[in-house]
């Protein structure tokens, strides 16, 4: 679902970076709009009123942490900000996908491709060079992360974003089948 935001521009009215940003927005509306488990809200725009930052809320069940015994703690609902740097879409200016805590979602996901600790807590690694295709693709890929349908927990390239979580996945999550949970 995409929260209402009207844009009076068409791709033929803008060029270069502005066209790419507009195409990204149109792709999000077309791809994410029909979904009920993901909500996208525009939180910042540029001088042309084209979105440059989004808040994404996932209404999905996922692991949010582990208890002292190493067993998973589950939660439903995670919030992520997607921010486009001024140089986006240049190769050296990728979008930043980062989970945040809010009053409604006071936790971060527990996933090897999402940093859980320290200054980088919440940062999402979308992996391999040259695989990023669009913001909608990235938003949908993160949904696969939250459902544990996609993850990289091996200590080899492309390295996991969070090595502690990756070790838990290999040593406890997979052997106990805790990461193989159903969405309800």
pLDDT in tens, 159-179: 899 999 999 999 999 999 999
Cα–Cα distance for residue pair 68/81, rounded to 1 Å: 30
Mean pLDDT of the chain: 91
> Residue 6: what pLDDT?
65
Kindly state the average pLDDT of the residues 93-114. Answer: 94
Closest residue by Cα to residue 45 from 8, 94, 99, 98: 8
pLDDT at 113: 96
Q: What whole-number distance in Å separates Cα of residue 62 and Cα of residue 146?
A: 5
Half-sphere exposure of 35 (CA within 13 A, CB side): 19
Cis peptide before 121 (omega within 30 of 0): no
CA pair distance 140, 66, nearest whole angstrom: 25
* Predicted local distance difference test score (pLDDT) of residue 173: 97
Q: What is the pTM of this model?
A: 0.92
**Alpha helices for 115-162 (secondary structure H):** 135-146
Q: 8: which strand partners?
A: none
Question: In this structure, are residues 72 and 94 in contact, taking their beta carbons and an 8 Å threshold?
Answer: no
- 12-32 pLDDT, tens digit per residue, is 788 888 999 999 999 999 999
Q: What is the pLDDT of residues 42-100, one digit of tens each?
A: 999 999 899 999 999 999 999 999 999 999 999 999 999 999 999 898 878 889 999 99
Percent of the chain with pLDDT over 70: 92
Q: At 76, phi and psi to the nearest 5?
A: -115, 125
């Amino acid at each position: 679902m995409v929260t209402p935001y009207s844009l009076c521009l068409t791709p033929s009215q803008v060029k270069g970076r502005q066209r790419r940003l507009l195409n990204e927005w149109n792709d999000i509306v077309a791809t994410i709009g029909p979904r009920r488990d993901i909500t996208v809200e525009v939180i910042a725009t540029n001088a042309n009123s084209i979105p440059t930052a989004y808040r994404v809320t996932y209404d999905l069940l996922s692991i949010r942490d582990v208890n002292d015994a190493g067993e998973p703690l589950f939660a439903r609902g995670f919030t992520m900000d997607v921010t486009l740097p001024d140089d986006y879409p240049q190769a050296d200016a990728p979008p930043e996908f980062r989970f945040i805590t809010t009053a409604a979602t006071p936790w971060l996901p527990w996933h090897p491709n999402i940093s859980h600790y320290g200054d980088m807590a919440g940062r999402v690694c979308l992996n391999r060079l040259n695989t990023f295709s669009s913001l909608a693709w990235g938003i949908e890929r993160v949904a696969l992360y939250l459902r544990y349908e996609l993850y990289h927990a091996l200590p080899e390239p492309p390295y996991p974003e969070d090595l502690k979580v990756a070790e838990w996945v290999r040593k406890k999550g997979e052997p106990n089948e805790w990461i193989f949970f159903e969405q309800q």
